[in-house]
Amino acid sequence: YPPPPPPPIGNKTAFQMEMFQDMILYEDPKWEFPRKNLVLGKTLGEGEFGKVVKATAFRLKGKAGYTTVAVKMLKDHASHSELRDLLSEFTLLKQVNHPHVIKMYGACSQDGPMYLIVEYAKYGSLRNFLRESRKVGPSYMSGNDANRNSSYLENPDERALTMGDLISFTWQISRGMQYLAEMKLVHRDLAARNVLVAEGRKMKISDFGLSRDVYEEDSYVKRSKGRIPVKWMAIESLFDHIYTTQSDVWSFGVLLWEIVTLGGNPYPGIAPERLFNLLKTGYRMEKPENCTEEMYNLMLRCWKQESNKRPIFIDISKELEKMMVKNRDYLDLAASTPADALLYDDALSEEDTPLVDSNNAPLPRTIPSTWIENKLYGRISHAFTRF
């Protein structure tokens, strides 16, 4: 007689049941967490295929009582590809242990949907945290303790951001990325939206759904179709589908720009298909307001066309440490942050934005596309349609 059909898997939908039939999830005793000890709460964030919810876990890692955690899961209509990405993230997070990389506590892989249980980041994504900080006025001026308000004394996390804070954020992320580079892991989607802010304004690199293990290779070539974060991607990733630690360095440069502009949209008003041409001809975003020449120079070096000419994360960390010592001035958000509405408008129309060339010379606001194409010695507009 044939073996009996497998029993129903928890509350999976018919679509998920079909999806899981050829993908058996084996339990890892070291990481498996009892589903009955997990109480799901409100949704913290969601995308097209997955979501993250706040939850409480009872007796997590043998700890008495309840612990607040975050749980990552797929939506009902997620495909094999998204499940594999979640399982890939599970595999990767088993390997990593660093104060600036999100920590995994366990998983629920049996008798129900796949859940990843990770540490809870009180302030959410860095992108939203930076944007919210623009609404906070300076709580005190440098060197004048009398101006410190009670809110700051009660909760240091509520004080206004300083330039030193922003540099600290970038340094923390660089340390996390240095660790991943040493682990031979390429993130492939480094951006402010994928960095979480925990209590004490601690940066936690997150979202390894696009990560790939490169233990045996120096690069990963993407062959499958899918959504790609064009404005954060290195030239070699856009044109040749090559992903390395040095393409993560390019993305880190864009992340620096996001931090300095307090959550601005990179290349504001520039449509992705125009970006291909602009980057290939050597043009980069101009220096944001509040940005020091030192920090902007670091961004430009991260955006070098040849990946081997970009700095490596260990050197980036050392540079940022020096900047932290030098920059102790407080940042007056009300007076100094960029006022350009394009920076914070997520429904952008295609407009021109100031760019600079590789020699840091400003460009005219309007650049004829035909001139760009001539500079490229031939049309490359087809490159965007390949994705």
Q: How far apart are CA 186 and CA 208, in angstroms?
A: 9
To which H or E segment does residue 53 belong?
A: strand 50-58
Q: How far apart are CA 376 and CA 241, in angstroms?
A: 19
To which H or E segment does residue 104 belong?
A: strand 104-108
Closest CA to 102 of 61, 72, 130, 128: 72
Is 3 strand, coil or helix? coil
CA 55 to chain centre: 22
SS3 content of the chain, % helix, strand, coil (to 5): 40, 15, 45
Contacts (Cβ under 8 Å, ≥6 apart) of 49: 74, 75, 77, 78, 79, 82
Q: Are 273 and 387 in contact (CB under 8 A)?
A: no
CA atoms 148, 149, 153, 155: torsion sign: negative
Q: How far apart are CA 69 and CA 10, in angstroms?
A: 22
DSSP string across 187-254? -S--SGGGEEEETTTEEEE---TT-EE-SS-S-EE--S-----GGG--HHHHHH-EE-HHHHHHHHHH
- Tell me the two tokens of residue 352: 């021109």
Angle formed at CA 322 by CA 318 and CA 327, multiple of 5 degrees: 140
Q: Is 12 annotated as a binding residue?
A: no
Catalytic residue among 85, 189, 207, 248: 189
Active site residue 189: yes
Q: Active-site residue numbers? A: 189
Binding site residue list? 72
Binding site residue list for ATP? 72
